[in-house]
Structure 1
Amino acid sequence: MRNRRTSGRTKAMSSIAFIGLGVMGSPMAVHLANAGHDVTGYNITPNKYGPLKEAGGSSADSIAEAVSGAEIVCVMVPDSPDVRDVLTGEDGVFAHAKPNALIIDFSSIRPDVTIELAEEASEKGFRLLDAPVSGGEAGAKNAALSIMVGGSAEDFAAAAEVFDHVGKTVVHVGPSGAGQTVKAANQLIVAANIQALSEAVVFVESYGVDVEAALEVLGGGLAGSAVLNQKRSNMLNRSFDPGFRIDLHHKDLGIVTAAARESGVVVPVGSLLAQLMAAARAQGDGGLDHSALLRGVERLSGRSTT
């Protein structure tokens, strides 16, 4: 159940289809192409192929074309309906991939949807792993993602040649759906950290404290976190170009609250965070990085936002 990365392995390079070349998918596909794999990408908007082609990959005009002949199919799209469309649509993976293809879904979606899709994949002769990631755009660009993987141990081992090149911490956490469950927990923790950091920034600013100095010392103590390290510059500079959009985190917190209700557990902080994220979207911040929760704290405090 632990990380089984085996760097330096000697193995023939694989033919890989990569569906979804957005903020996260594009650098991941590039890493695989740079590693020598034969990578064919498909994106619903055709203006995303430049980095992959520069790395030696190629583009396809459809999902069907991309997955034809591919040994491994990687998927990185926004939400549960998107994954379902990619896999089960008329032009989709199940209809056109080669038998026994290994499908790695890096998207963050509902655990119950993943379980349904894994069962359908198995019935059709495919192998499906749910492998949502954490680390944001920086983690994708630096091949330093944390990847939580659900599925069989055998399929997890078979996917190592992909995971080795896109992730740093790669852990098999259980059967199908387990990866998505752990990712939901991850998103709960990240949102809580961002909200607390936002409140701390506005709080120290209200007393005229040097915020940069404050964050430096906070980062060196128990309050330090990956969130503080990665998001401090966003908050100091009020620059919220999306590494991970509020729209997507809103979706993920919906997954958290729904799954918690289904399992009969209480997530009061998660419920509050879901409301704060929804408020940010209602104020037009959905396309901004999730560190823009800071703007919500400023609004609630009667301070101008930038």
Structure 2
Amino acid sequence: MSELKRNIGLIGAGAMGLHMIRHLIAAGHAVTASVRRDEAARAVEGVGARAVRSPAAAASNADVIITNVTSTPDVREVLLGDEGAIHSARSGAVVVDHSTIAVAGTREVAEALAARGIGFIDCPVSGGVRAAEAGTLTLMAGGSAEHLAAVRDVILCYGKTLTHVGPVGAGQVAKACNQIVQVVNIQGIAEAMLFCRAQGVDPQQMLTAISSGFAGSRMLELMGPKMVARDFAAGIESRLHAKDYGLILEMAQAAGLDLPAVQVTQALLSDMQARGWAKEDTSALLKALELRQASA
């Protein structure tokens, strides 16, 4: 149980957010969640939170405001829009944004909130729904040390590792780096599978052979068996990685950077979306590679 009980306003009570609420309630915090549908209201009330119908209502009287939505425009809307949290949040409250969005948008939102005396931490997460359920998310934070210290105990209700990377926006940069390493790794595993089969070698035997060497990784442990079994049920939906890679390429281009592995991976992720595989796992990069090979 957390020693300091807080009033938490949560915006974005989807698969991740619902688990966060559950952990926050278990720690003794009071949670008010903004929802748009009756089904979502029943879900948050079922884990002990109070459901309201707007971000502003969720932020009213909150010590900490947690957002977990999809895109940069979504974050702007729930925090700065007509029914946004900025209109009711008290001075001294701190917003913790767990969304993965553009660095420039993050800084713009933080500046607007700061003008009202509201703190802001950009704190993207890694680990997916399973880690949210277990309370073992990895979190990378940008913002002032003072603001982070004020909300650290809240974040660690559902996180295992929390690293202060730097000022506002640094958390988003770290998350972009996480996605580069993670998804390029998945792409490499898919290419290895394609190459292995083309050479007439059993992919499972290949996987067994390389897993204990330098090729071994958490991604190989997770994605290798899925690709061998051709099990593309989503752990993390490819649409989310496609969205992130669009952001990464935009930021890279703005910085004048050439990231060839990111470019190739982003093109295949885009192919997956066009083929209707948005809700399949990113391990389905293997299928996209196979189709590209077949049409070559």
Q: Indicate whether the TM-score tops 0.5.
A: yes
Question: Deviations for 1:101-147, whole angstroms, at most 9, x for unmatched residues?
Answer: 11000000000000111111100110010001111222222222111
Between the aligned partners of 2:233 and 2:51, the Cα distance in structure 1 is 27
Q: 2:235 — aligned with what?
A: 243
Between the aligned partners of 1:123 and 1:48, the Cα distance in structure 2 is 32
Quick check: 115-124 or 280-289, which moved more? 280-289
The AA in structure 2 aligned to 1:190 is: Q
The AA in structure 2 aligned to 1:84 is: R
Between the aligned partners of 1:233 and 1:189, the Cα distance in structure 2 is 19
Inter-CA distance 51–222: structure 2 relative to 1 (3 Å threshold): farther
Any idea what SS the aligned residue of 2:15 has? coil
Question: Deviations for 1:131-177, whole angstroms, at most 9, x for unmatched residues?
Answer: 01111222222222111100000111111112212212210000001
Shift of 1:207: 4.4
Q: Is 1:149–1:172's contact at 8 Å kept on the other side of the alignment?
A: yes
Confirm whether residue 263 of structure 1 aligns to residue 255 of structure 2: yes
Any idea what SS the aligned residue of 1:24 has? helix
Any idea what SS the aligned residue of 1:298 has? helix
Q: 1:175 — aligned with what?
A: 167
Q: Is 1:30–1:51's contact at 8 Å kept on the other side of the alignment?
A: no
Match of 1:81 among 73, 82, 85: 73
Inter-CA distance 48–237: structure 2 relative to 1 (3 Å threshold): farther
Confirm whether residue 150 of structure 1 aligns to residue 142 of structure 2: yes
Q: 1:194 — aligned with what?
A: 186
Between the aligned partners of 2:207 and 2:27, the Cα distance in structure 1 is 37
The CA RMSD measured in Å over matched residues stands at 2.0
Shift of 1:213: 4.0
Between the aligned partners of 1:126 and 1:43, the Cα distance in structure 2 is 22
Between the aligned partners of 1:153 and 1:46, the Cα distance in structure 2 is 38
Identity %: 36
Size of the aligned set, in residue pairs, is 295
Shift of 1:280: 1.2
Shift of 1:229: 2.3
Inter-CA distance 52–231: structure 2 relative to 1 (3 Å threshold): farther
Between the aligned partners of 2:149 and 2:277, the Cα distance in structure 1 is 40
Shift of 1:219: 2.6
Match of 1:276 among 255, 268, 275: 268
Gaps of 5+ in 2: none
Question: Deviations for 1:13-63, whole angstroms, at most 9, x for unmatched residues?
Answer: 111111112232221222112222111222334423455433322221222
Confirm whether residue 141 of structure 1 aligns to residue 153 of structure 2: no
Q: Is 1:132–1:180's contact at 8 Å kept on the other side of the alignment?
A: yes
Quick check: 207-216 or 165-174, which moved more? 207-216
Match of 1:103 among 95, 104, 114: 95
Question: Deviations for 1:237-259, whole angstroms, at most 9, x for unmatched residues?
Answer: 33333332222211111111111
Confirm whether residue 232 of structure 1 aligns to residue 218 of structure 2: no
Q: 2:48 — aligned with what?
A: 56
Match of 2:121 among 129, 138, 144: 129
Between the aligned partners of 2:50 and 2:234, the Cα distance in structure 1 is 26
Question: Deviations for 1:64-100, whole angstroms, at most 9, x for unmatched residues?
Answer: 2222111111000000000000001111110122222
Quick check: 18-27 or 81-90, which moved more? 18-27
Inter-CA distance 114–160: structure 2 relative to 1 (3 Å threshold): same
Q: Is 2:58–2:85's contact at 8 Å kept on the other side of the alignment?
A: no
Any idea what SS the aligned residue of 1:91 has? coil
Match of 1:37 among 22, 29, 33: 29
Q: 1:219 — aligned with what?
A: 211
Match of 1:185 among 177, 201, 204: 177
TM-score by length of 2: 0.92
Shift of 1:274: 1.3
